[in-house]
């Protein structure tokens, strides 16, 4: 199960890299806190997991995604 999670994260960060290239090409900012909050709130509404866990997990995912995108500059 853990190896599957890591594969999913790897795929997500590959997509983040592609999104980062799009943002770079179109002169868009890497960070969009409003969008991040929308995603977190949507997941909280539909998940049975503890809300604090969801917030921490996705904030960590978003930070890593922004780090990946920031390396493209």
Contact 72, 21 (CB under 8 A): yes
From 14, 64, 15, 57, select the one nearest 39 (Cα to Cα): 57
What is the predicted pLDDT for the residue at 38? 98
pTM for the full model? 0.90
pLDDT tens for residues 12-44?
999 999 999 999 999 999 999 999 999 999 999
Contact yes or no for 63/10 (Cβ under 8 A): no
């Amino acid at each position: 199960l853990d190896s599957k999670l890591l594969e999913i994260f790897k795929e997500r960060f590959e997509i983040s890299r592609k999104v980062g290239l799009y943002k770079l090409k179109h002169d868009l900012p890497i960070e969009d806190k409003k969008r991040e909050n929308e995603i977190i709130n949507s997941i909280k509404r539909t998940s049975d997991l503890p809300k604090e866990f969801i917030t921490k997990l996705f904030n960590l995912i978003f930070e890593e995604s922004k780090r990946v995108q920031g390396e493209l500059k």
